[in-house]
Amino acid sequence: MSGHRRRPPQRSTAGLRAAVEQATSRGARRRPPQNARRRPPQKKRWLDYPRSGKQGPRRYLPSWRQVLSLFLLFFGSTAALVGYAYATVTIPDPNPTTLLQNNVYYWSDGTVLATDGSVNRQNITLAQVPLAVQGDFIAAENASFYTDPGIDPQGILRAVVHMAGGGSVQSGSTITQQFVKNTYLDQSQTVSRKFKELLISTKIGASMTKEQILTGYLNTCFFGRQANGVQAAARAYYNLPVEKLDVSQGAFLAAAVNEPSLFQHVDSDPAAKRQAQARWSWVLDRMVDTGKLTPAQRAKYAAAGFPMPRKWAPGSNLAGQTGYLMQLARAYVQQHDPSITDGSLSRGGYQIYTTFDRKKTAALERSVARTRRERLDPKHRPVDRDVQVGAASVEPRTGRILAVYGGPGFDHSHFSDNADTSGVPVGSTFKPVVLAAALQHGAVLRPGKAAEPITPASKFNGDDGIKIKDQQGNYITDDKDPTGLLHQRNDTPERWGYITLRKAMEQSVNTPYVQLGEDVGHENVASTAEALGLRPNSLAAPSAGFYIGTSTPSAIRMAGAYATFAASGEQATPYSVTKVSHNGSVLHGFTAPAPAQALPKVIADNVTDVLKGVIARGTGTRAQVLGRTAAGKTGTTDDYRSAWFIGYTPQLATSVVLFREDPKNPQLLSMAGVGGTEKVFGGDIPTAIWTQYMRDALTGLPDTPFPAPAPLGHGADEPGAAKPSPSAPHDKRGAKNGGKQGTPTAGSTPGAPTPGPKCHGRRCR
């Protein structure tokens, strides 16, 4: 048995088969089949998406590494893009319209008279806005204004969520963003504009102070009612300067910024009022939330009620006398500062403070309207249709123009200022100028002799139709017919004989003053007129008619001349502007004109004494209803083409002119038949307007007497005055005229003016 070889242990059939299969499987994995194709090795992909090795939907689900990489890539790219945009964007120039302002004209009491310009804006400084009103806007629009960098992502998100939930309208933009949008961009709602707004806002926030930004915002917001900026809004809604707004009013304006087109109608639209009240209340609540108001203060404003804005009247800016007042002030400003041109005024920013008295201007307008209603009937009397009125009221000693009446108004397409027009002859209202010149310079009564003193008691021939001599004793020729001698006419054909200059003034007799003017000399009379403030270019050329009113000064200048008499010879040039500032800086050159002694006091006071007689017993007796001390003179011209009354008290001088003009063919027309009367005199309709106005304008002022005139001594008479006249009594009006102007004759219509005889050949009354 030891010689036999040992056999290995026998395996079971099943075990053997398993071993073979395992070996075959390993070999198969190690060696591909000989007939199989060899595949190239796969390269690793930069972006493994869809994901390899995954089946079904899992292949398209990114891995967390892919999500993180994508986020980092997007964030980095966005940051780079924003950084590049921020680095390259520049703050643009402001929109030209945001630089435009309007000009504001103020009444003498400081309230706004009117504004002009293409944009209703008056820029202010932040110091002008009360802190509480600043708080209104910050609470309503951007509570984090003083701490944010110019943008507020949380605020934008909060506004979106709030409005999506049905809350009240809130602005998602910061005050800085709104300032940028208003000043540098446009109002378009595009993504690119919004992105640019955010970038510029960030730069603005880094380069400007918060005070500068808030100021710019308040000056550029639109509030409705054509008001740009908080100053214009304060005027449009409350007729107040922004400095005088309270917290409650400021809350309304802060609310109006969001819906200006709705809030502007709060005075007439109940729905707008309800929304405005709700928004106003919300702003006050926000003031409490932000610590700008205490609950007790909030309750006080709630108890006071909604601050209802005033009624809005669009397009009424130049109605009534406003246009004429602005026109006067604008012309004065440009005359006294050549640097203020039409171009600079069109850019705006001027604050123009005038002398115009709001109450007196309204009183003058009422007086004209009342007299027109009572005396004129254009519907049934065609001659009444084209009647024009001009008037001006000047303060003696200062020259301040307190009121004018220039016509029915720009809103009635009447653009010519009747108070400042030249072209309407002044008639017999020029006679006091001749008298003043005679009292000062004397008159050459005898050829070759020196001038002799003249007083109101000096006598001259008052007969109608007399021939007039020059200083050399030669008869002068008729300026209308140089081949014939002048036969000067009065307003009546009667013969007055030799009467005093006082009497001739009271009864408006022409012939004494024409001869007196020739004896005094054109040069002396003209120099006196200029000293009284009449412009040289308004004075007529030398002629006999010059002395009784062929010159054409304006109503303003005539009021100023008579104001000199009222001020005892102290002349102050009429002026309309007291101060001008531009964007808050006061401009020089607008100090009041310095008064000058144009006439010796004794002469001016004697002229006043004579003119008192015109009202007491002459052609101006209708002015007696004023019921106080006054002096004045009536004036009427050839064929009744104009009628004047100029009168004054120590406190006020006012001129009124009536004329008729065809608007299609501008020229003076006869007023015969106007008001239903055959003839129109200065003692009629103009005196009625003057009296009604002066009664209102002087309410509350004392009845101050004029200074007593000092005696002038003995005055010379015209040669021949000692001889008695063969005519009727010298100191009475002829029977044909029926007594003093203003006293109805038998058979006349009660209340109608006394019809006088035709004013023949020259200016009269």
What tens digit of pLDDT does each residue of 641-652 get? 999 999 999 999
pLDDT value of position 244: 95
Six-digit token string for 87: 């680095």
pLDDT value of position 763: 40
Instruction: Please say whether the beta carbons of 516 and 443 come within 8 A.
Output: yes
Q: State mean pLDDT over 62-89.
A: 65
pLDDT value of position 158: 61
pLDDT value of position 19: 58
Instruction: Please say whether the beta carbons of 503 and 731 come within 8 A.
Output: yes
Residue 426 pLDDT level (bands cut at 50, 70, 90): very high
pLDDT digits (tens, 9 = 90+) for 433-482: 999 999 999 999 999 999 999 999 999 999 999 999 999 999 998 877 77
Cis amide leading into 50 (omega within 30): yes
pLDDT digits (tens, 9 = 90+) for 183-192: 876 655 566 6
Burial class (CB in 10 A: 0-12, 13-18, 19+), 713: exposed
pLDDT digits (tens, 9 = 90+) for 3-12: 445 555 555 5
Which of 43-47, 399-403, 551-555 has the lowest average pLDDT? 43-47
pTM metric for this prediction = 0.77
Average pLDDT, the chain: 84
* Closest to 320 measured CA to CA, from 358, 351, 371, 376: 358
Whether the pLDDT of residue 597 is over 60: the answer is: yes
pLDDT value of position 735: 32
pLDDT digits (tens, 9 = 90+) for 344-387: 888 888 999 999 999 999 999 999 999 999 999 999 999 999 99
pLDDT digits (tens, 9 = 90+) for 240-266: 999 999 999 999 999 999 889 889 989
Q: State mean pLDDT over 332-342.
A: 91
Q: Please state, for a pLDDT cut of 70, what percent of the chain lies above it.
A: 79
pLDDT value of position 685: 96
pLDDT digits (tens, 9 = 90+) for 500-521: 999 999 999 999 999 999 999 9
CA 268 → CA 120, 233, 263, distances in Å? 22, 18, 10
Which of 42-51, 405-414, 467-476 has the lowest average pLDDT? 42-51
Type of residue at 678: E
Helix (H) / strand (E) element for 84: namely helix 64-88
Whether the pLDDT of residue 47 is over 90: the answer is: no
| Structural domains for the chain | 96-102+111-304 (1.10.3810.10), 319-443+501-721 (3.40.710.10)
d(CA 71, CA 38) in angstroms, rounded, equals 40
pLDDT digits (tens, 9 = 90+) for 695-717: 999 999 999 999 999 999 999 99
Q: Which residues contact 48 (CB under 8 A, 6 or more apart)?
A: 66
CA 472 → CA 410, 440, 448, 475, 519, distances in Å? 52, 21, 7, 9, 9
pLDDT value of position 38: 56
pLDDT value of position 32: 54
Residue 560 pLDDT level (bands cut at 50, 70, 90): very high
Residue 494 pLDDT level (bands cut at 50, 70, 90): confident
pLDDT value of position 347: 85
Residue 736 pLDDT level (bands cut at 50, 70, 90): very low
pLDDT value of position 733: 34
Whether the pLDDT of residue 34 is over 60: the answer is: no
pLDDT value of position 9: 53
* Closest to 638 measured CA to CA, from 425, 431, 466, 481: 425
Whether the pLDDT of residue 283 is over 90: the answer is: yes
Whether the pLDDT of residue 744 is over 50: the answer is: no
pLDDT value of position 409: 92
- Report, in angstroms and rounded to the nearest whole number, the Rg of the chain calculated over CA atoms: 45
Q: Please state, for a pLDDT cut of 90, what percent of the chain lies above it.
A: 58
pLDDT value of position 734: 33
Q: Which residue has the higher pLDDT, 689 or 736?
A: 689
Whether the pLDDT of residue 30 is over 70: the answer is: no
d(CA 715, CA 500) in angstroms, rounded, equals 11
pLDDT value of position 70: 72
Instruction: Please say whether the beta carbons of 394 and 732 come within 8 A.
Output: no
Burial of 364-374, coded b for 16+ CB within 10 Å and e otherwise, reads bbebbeebbee
